[in-house]
Amino acid sequence: MGFSSVVYREMKLYAFSKLNIVLSLSAPLIYSLLFASSLAGTISEVDFRGTLVSYPEFVVPGLVVLTTLLSAMTSSQSVFQERDSGMLLEILSCPIHPNVYVAGKIFGTAVVSSVQGVGLLLATVLFFRLDWSPMALLRGTLLIPLFSLTFNAMYLCMCGLARNIQTFILSMNVVTMILMFSGTVFYPIASVPTWLRLFATVNPVTLSCETARAAFLGLSMSTSLIILLAVMFLITLCAMIILRRNVLT
């Protein structure tokens, strides 16, 4: 009962805030309409795992991953808002076990991120007129919750490590820019500078983008999917430990 209540609360907070909906979708749409569409006019094809694909086919999976990343960044701030307003104390006094609260928080915000990711996927597929098969779209869509869970758990880890919301927002913005531009959202791993390539390879954004592209393009994704699942479970475990120790006590 406690888990479902936390999940429902997260979804309700998002659904009843039109401003949050607009703000959370504005950045991905700007990247899609301005940045990605401009590059699509100058880059005809990209080599992905030995297969030449059009730039829109390459970048759309990355934009979906970027949407879940930015949504997770926005949603994670609610931990500080609940703590500072005293709402967190009321939630835990229901009573709800701290681990149940963290799990519900991760899952609830992941549902919100997934909805946004699916929405952007449909919009960009129509905008770029991609002719992916229904099976390819289904494979890629089913992966979106995995990306959302990974990024939401990651930002909740940062919540637990930050002492106040100002520190969190500053560090969150820096980390997001590093993850986004060292990852393969807009360009292949071969285009990343040599000195940055090792970090880019283990970057969760890169792992998510590579898995998403393989799914949408009908290529093998077993290796990257297994690695991403392991990363998701590890980060989720860290989030539960850190939040319980630093925020929920």
Q: Return phi, psi of residue 25, to 5°.
A: -95, -15
CB proximity list for 2: less than 8 A, separation 6 or greater: 94, 95, 96, 97, 100, 101, 104
- The single-letter DSSP state of residue 61 is H
Domain boundaries, the chain: 2-246
Q: Return phi, psi of residue 52, to 5°.
A: -80, 125
Confidence category of residue 183, pLDDT binned at 50, 70, 90 = very high
Confidence category of residue 100, pLDDT binned at 50, 70, 90 = confident
Ranking 32-41, 144-153, 208-217, 238-247 by mean pLDDT, the lowest is: 32-41
| CB-CB contact of 200 with 184 (8 Å) | yes
Confidence category of residue 235, pLDDT binned at 50, 70, 90 = very high
Percent of the chain with pLDDT over 90: 38
Report CA-CA distances (Å) from 109 to 32, 78, 191, 240: 23, 10, 33, 15
Judged against a pLDDT cut of 70, whether residue 1 lies above it is answered with no
**Interval 114-135: pLDDT, tens:** 988 998 899 889 888 899 999 9
More confident residue, 106 or 216: 216
Confidence category of residue 179, pLDDT binned at 50, 70, 90 = very high
**Interval 24-62: pLDDT, tens:** 677 777 777 777 777 777 777 899 988 899 998 999 999
Q: Give the pLDDT confidence score for residue 249 in this predicted structure.
A: 65
Distance CA 148, CA 115 (A): 10
Helix (H, G, I), strand (E, B) or coil at 47: strand
Q: What is the pTM of this model?
A: 0.90
Percent of the chain with pLDDT over 70: 95
